A = this chain, B = another copy of it.
């Protein structure tokens, strides 16, 4: 403000800029013109301290290089900006420690609320005190995709079970008899839920649930080797449901190398509609997750909580449905009467 003292006091300027009714039109005009001319902007730092809020929200995600997360971020950014908020992104690298560090930092007044997708290591470890502390400190939190049941907060998630069901059901419908699943270890919530959908679909059909066809990938080991085992079975699978597109792409590659034709000999279906799915050849049929929508829902819930004055604020869990995107890696449905 300082320099503005070309004739009036500092607070007069402040009021004029805020169009206060208690300042004469003439002075307001002059001051506004002056401010505009010099591109005056109230200092954010001072405002932050004064208002005890920063108009920025924090996001903690495991990895920014995952296409799905970038879609979510885009969704968040878009509506956040619209509402005058900025976005601060942190990566936990799937590490518990980095997640805690990031939270501490964000919680210290840097941010008005936090959106997080839980690190794998945190899920594995099961220590959620940092989330509880955050909530106790009154900082709004929303979890998306990888969420913790026992934490009471707003949540946005993919209907993973349904997605897994949809995918598997489709493989059944196109005539696959031996359907394998490439999934994650049990502690990764989303993988496990998708597997649940897979199992439901198999059980609802007249196909047997075959343990040999369930492959839980341990990412600390060589992924390719683990998938290859599936192809050394005496009875090869004729359908594969992979809980992410990387596993699906690797499976396609191995299948092709083994001389199998996709989709004639084996149909492959992934999860998440990323770049790989679109641009691989054959292009990959997949379960679309609508990351953008998830991001939007998440930020809407968060801003809603931030703005809310209610003492008995009710947390909500929004489920974002999945869609099947059929491309070239799965056989065409023979009779469109099948359901």
Contact = CB atoms under 8 A, between A and B. Distances in A.
A74 interface: yes
Interface string A81-122: 000001111110000000000001100111000000000000
A283 B250 CA distance: 11
A78 to B, nearest CB: 9
Contacts of A46: 49
B275 A252 contact: no
Nearest to A250: B279
A257 B89 CA distance: 41
A46 B108 CA distance: 11
Contacts of A87: 88-90
Contacts of A110: 44-45, 86
* Copies of this protein, total: 2
Nearest to A292: B65
A91 B79 CA distance: 13
Interface residues on A, range: 35 or more
A65 B71 contact: yes
Nearest to A84: B105
Given A45-B45, A64-B70, A88-B88, 12 more contacts: A41-B104, A45-B49, A45-B109, A46-B49, A64-B64, A64-B74, A87-B90, A256-B281, A275-B275, A276-B279, A279-B280, A280-B281
29 contacts: A45-B45, A46-B49, A49-B49, A56-B88, A64-B70, A64-B74, A65-B70, A65-B71, A65-B74, A67-B67, A86-B110, A87-B89, A87-B90, A88-B89, A245-B279, A246-B275, A246-B279, A249-B279, A250-B279, A253-B279, A253-B281, A253-B283, A275-B275, A275-B276, A276-B279, A279-B280, A280-B280, A280-B281, A281-B281
